[in-house]
A and B are shown apart, each in its own frame.
Chain A
Amino acid sequence: MSVKIVAFCCNWCSYAGADLAGTSRLNYPAQVKIIRVPCSCRVDVQFILRAFVRGADGVIVCGCHLGDCHYSTGNYHAEGRLTQLFSLLDFMGFERERVHLEWISAAEGAKFAATMDAFVTQVSALGKNERYRNMYTKAGAQNE
């Protein structure tokens, strides 16, 4: 069974970390698909929920280490927002293990690959996300 993972990576650290994993030829599972955002604070909760509705099984948000954000404080906002999202997921009875936040620097190519490995394993253990995928009805699609 192959799970779908969306990884939001901030341009300045984590996206560069993913690039470094590439330059260093470090393997990680191909089901991880990266979306580049300027900063981890650009990740709207809507983006994460939309991914689940459209069939993602796990969403990971990656940013610079605290104190290293290119915009100084963006990752603190991202952290605060995800903390609220976790409470919401708990409230909805949705496995919070499908969402993860990780700080990965531009020098941490190995950490990027290892984090993706570990996250894919974690989400695979939970299985497919059937619950929210079903929210994506035809009517919903037409309303876009």
Chain B
Amino acid sequence: MRIGVFVCHCGSNIKATIDAEYIAAQVQQDAKVVHAAEYPYLCAEGGQQKIINAVREYQLTGVVICACSPRMHENTFRKTAAKAGLNPYQIEIANIREQCSWVHKNKDAATGKALKLAKAAIARVKLALPLFAGESAVTKRALVIGGGIAGIQTALDIAEAGFAVDLVESTPSIGGKMAQLDKTFPTLDCAACILTPKMVDAAAHEKITLHTYSEVEEVEGFVGNFTATIRKKARSVDMKKCTGCGACWEKCPSKRIPSEFDCGLANRTAIYTPFAQAVPNVPVIDRATCIKFKNGRCGLCADVCQPAAIDFTQEDAVFTQEYGVIIAATGYQVFSLDAYGEYAYHDSKNVITSLELERLMNAAGPTGGKLQRPSDGKAPKKITFIQCVGSRDITRGKPYCSKICCMYTAKHAIAIKEKYPEAEIEIFYIDVRTPGKGFDEFYRRAVEVYGVRYIKGQVGKIAEMNGILHMQAVDLLENKRFDTTADMVVLAAAIEPSPGAKPLAQMLATPMDTLRFFSEAHPKLRPVESATAGIFLSGVCHGPKDIPETVAQASAAACKAIGVLAKDKLITNPCVAKVNDKKCTGCGRCIDVCPYKAISLESNAAEANPALCQGCGGCASLCPSNAMDLNGFTHKQVLAEVDALCR
């Protein structure tokens, strides 16, 4: 090993407090240091040239630079080393400015410490191995999982940038929850009016391939090089032939199946599209409820289908495809109210969730937009809303705030008052949270313009008697208990991640929080990237969000994904974990510590995937067998540094 040491003056920044000449002289006592020099500005072109010349002249195999913080110029000097033909990882920096000349006034003390730091860097460089950044190719195709507004927006943005996108949706149509909504806060435009054009755009885009009624079954690989296995469930309808005329579902005799899209408030047939504007507008046969599939008779739909698109023998199609990036956009579902028996949700038809109200208010919904009580079809005169059902409840529900309920409850109140000005509306809340653009103004309009009565408090129990809902309630501001009644009660139930999110997270090997929302790589600085390189998060699958926030995150995720897709080659950081399989006992402890799931057990020894590893070193310092190490910060290097500093 032939080491060169270069001491920078940084003008007078270093030189005023540190005796650079003394350091250059002292380090040469080390037999491996064959050259030492000082220079006023090493980072300047002249300084860098001096280093390059010295590397060549003295045939240096390691370089130590005593200068400012490596956070300033490590990359500069790595490039200098590369220019001189040295491996860029065989340079080390001793931070004698920020850690010495700028913080210690006493010249002797500062010089003494600077020498120690230089010796520590020499000790490190002696053990530095040449490291090589790897390269891997990028498949220029994106996989978006979940076809709600989040997935649609992400797919459109990526496609607009010119990359191919596969959009996989588990239900028969894209659109997600937003398709079920009536009007949307804070502007009250109709959800379908702003969503359906996007659904149509996604379907028509030449770069987007829709896979509805489909599921991702398996994912392998790493950033740039994922392979996914996708199952297209048998629709029993030939998508190429079907014209979407609707003759089949009009004739289908199996008519009494609760419609998922209408939250069970209306029925659908066995062959169906979930809603009139479904994309694609091609029905599926729900084989569990189809008479033909149950007992072989029927087949009416096939009889009436002019283009002969019905195919009872169709089978699931399974295919594999390669992708460079994957975006999770699996959204949410409404939390089950089973634990909240006191609200009589299961006992009274007139106690509904807010999402059910969206269907009852929707012009395309089961009542044509007329607000009717599910029990008797009468118009309710008084409606009571209860907010935070299941949200912010650590004992029975979710610890978090579902974020959207304050706003949609105000929206519901306003929408009802618009249609039925004489209706009386009462809202029980714990806190009203309206931090969004135009949100507080919107809520105040409900109170001030529409006369909605907000009560800070809770409802203890609901019981239906003779069609009237009786409630025992508490008003916390007045500090009193009171009884109240309503014709209809609407519960703002918490939202929670879709059930498919957890198996998907396991497939993608990307972490979720304890509440089953996908975890972001960094809560502040990397909010749309998952902890796994190449996997991005879009929409509510990452945490409760309204539509504006969902769309913003969807576009941000697309932007990050495009950042990967636009590259021809990915350069991998060589400072990653490496296993010595002779020492590894296969205990697997390192697997749990890795935040990026980069480690797997392969034939009894751990293996760290350099494309996934981010180089934190957690595994290396935990391994009980000393089998795991971290390039660039090896055990030997750190120990040598410790020794040099304590000498």
Using a CB–CB cutoff of 8 Å, the interface residues on chain A facing chain B are 4, 6, 11, 15-16, 18-19, 21-23, 25-28, 30-31, 33-39, 41-47, 50-51, 54-56, 67-68, 70-74, 77, 81, 113
Most buried by A among B100, B104, B618: B618
User: Which range holds the interface residue count of chain B?
Assistant: 35 or more
Contact A6–B646 (Cβ < 8 Å):
yes
Contact B104–A33 (Cβ < 8 Å):
no
Q: List, in ascending order, chain B residues with CB within 8 A of A19's CB.
A: 69, 71, 95, 98-99
Contact A30–B109 (Cβ < 8 Å):
yes
Mask, B603-645, CB within 8 Å of A = 1, is: 0000000000011111011100000001001010011011101
Q: List, in ascending order, chain A residues with CB within 8 A of B616's CB.
A: 38-39, 41-42, 70-71, 74
* Complex Cα spacing A47 to B630, Å: 14
Q: List, in ascending order, chain B residues with CB within 8 A of A56's CB.
A: 642, 645-646
Within 8 Å by CB of A28, from B69, B103, B522, lies B103
Contact A81–B112 (Cβ < 8 Å):
no
CB distance from A3 to the nearest CB of B (A): 11
* Complex Cα spacing A46 to B628, Å: 14
Mask, B93-110, CB within 8 Å of A = 1, is: 001011110111110011
* Complex Cα spacing A70 to B620, Å: 17
* Complex Cα spacing A84 to B523, Å: 28
Contact B110–A30 (Cβ < 8 Å):
yes
Within 8 Å by CB of A42, from B521, B633, B642, lies B633
CB distance from B2 to the nearest CB of A (A): 23
Contact A18–B642 (Cβ < 8 Å):
no
Q: List, in ascending order, chain A residues with CB within 8 A of B299's CB.
A: none
Contact A33–B638 (Cβ < 8 Å):
no
Contact A50–B639 (Cβ < 8 Å):
yes
Q: What 5 additional pairs, Cβ within 8 angstroms, besides A19-B99, A44-B622, A74-B595?
A: A25-B102, A39-B616, A46-B621, A71-B595, A72-B522
Contact B646–A46 (Cβ < 8 Å):
no
Q: List, in ascending order, chain A residues with CB within 8 A of B595's CB.
A: 71-74
Question: 21 A–B contact pairs at CB < 8 A?
Answer: A16-B71, A18-B99, A19-B99, A22-B69, A22-B97, A22-B103, A23-B102, A26-B103, A27-B103, A30-B106, A30-B112, A33-B113, A34-B95, A38-B615, A38-B616, A38-B630, A39-B617, A41-B616, A44-B638, A72-B595, A74-B616
* Complex Cα spacing A143 to B524, Å: 47
Residue of B nearest to A57 (CB): B646
Contact B575–A38 (Cβ < 8 Å):
yes
* Complex Cα spacing A45 to B524, Å: 30
CB distance from B364 to the nearest CB of A (A): 44
Q: List, in ascending order, chain A residues with CB within 8 A of B102's CB.
A: 22-23, 25
Q: List, in ascending order, chain A residues with CB within 8 A of B173's CB.
A: none
* Complex Cα spacing A25 to B97, Å: 10
Contact B113–A30 (Cβ < 8 Å):
yes
Q: List, in ascending order, chain A residues with CB within 8 A of B97's CB.
A: 22
CB distance from B640 to the nearest CB of A (A): 10
Residue of B nearest to A28 (CB): B103
* Complex Cα spacing A74 to B102, Å: 30
Contact B593–A41 (Cβ < 8 Å):
yes
Given the known inter-chain contacts A16-B71, A33-B120, A67-B523, please indicate yes or no for A42 contacting B98, CB distance below 8 A.
no
Q: List, in ascending order, chain A residues with CB within 8 A of B522's CB.
A: 70, 72
Given the known inter-chain contacts A22-B103, A27-B104, A35-B638, please indicate yes or no for A6 contacting B617, CB distance below 8 A.
no
Q: List, in ascending order, chain A residues with CB within 8 A of B71's CB.
A: 11, 15-16, 19
Mask, B63-97, CB within 8 Å of A = 1, is: 00000011100000000000000000000000101
* Complex Cα spacing A21 to B69, Å: 12
Within 8 Å by CB of A46, from B117, B531, B635, B645, lies B635
* Complex Cα spacing A137 to B112, Å: 26
* Complex Cα spacing A45 to B622, Å: 9
Contact B99–A34 (Cβ < 8 Å):
yes
Within 8 Å by CB of A77, from B113, B120, B593, B646, lies B593
Contact B618–A39 (Cβ < 8 Å):
yes
* Complex Cα spacing A1 to B112, Å: 16
Given the known inter-chain contacts A25-B102, A54-B647, A72-B522, please indicate yes or no for A37 contacting B642, CB distance below 8 A.
no
Given the known inter-chain contacts A33-B120, A44-B635, please indicate yes or no for A4 contacting B98, CB distance below 8 A.
no
CB distance from A73 to the nearest CB of B (A): 5
Residue of A nearest to B632 (CB): A38
* Complex Cα spacing A42 to B616, Å: 6
Within 8 Å by CB of A4, from B519, B633, B646, lies B646
Residue of A nearest to B593 (CB): A77
CB distance from A74 to the nearest CB of B (A): 5
Q: List, in ascending order, chain B residues with CB within 8 A of A6's CB.
A: 642, 645-646
Contact B621–A81 (Cβ < 8 Å):
yes
Indicate whether B9 reaches chain A with its CB closer than 8 angstroms. Answer: no
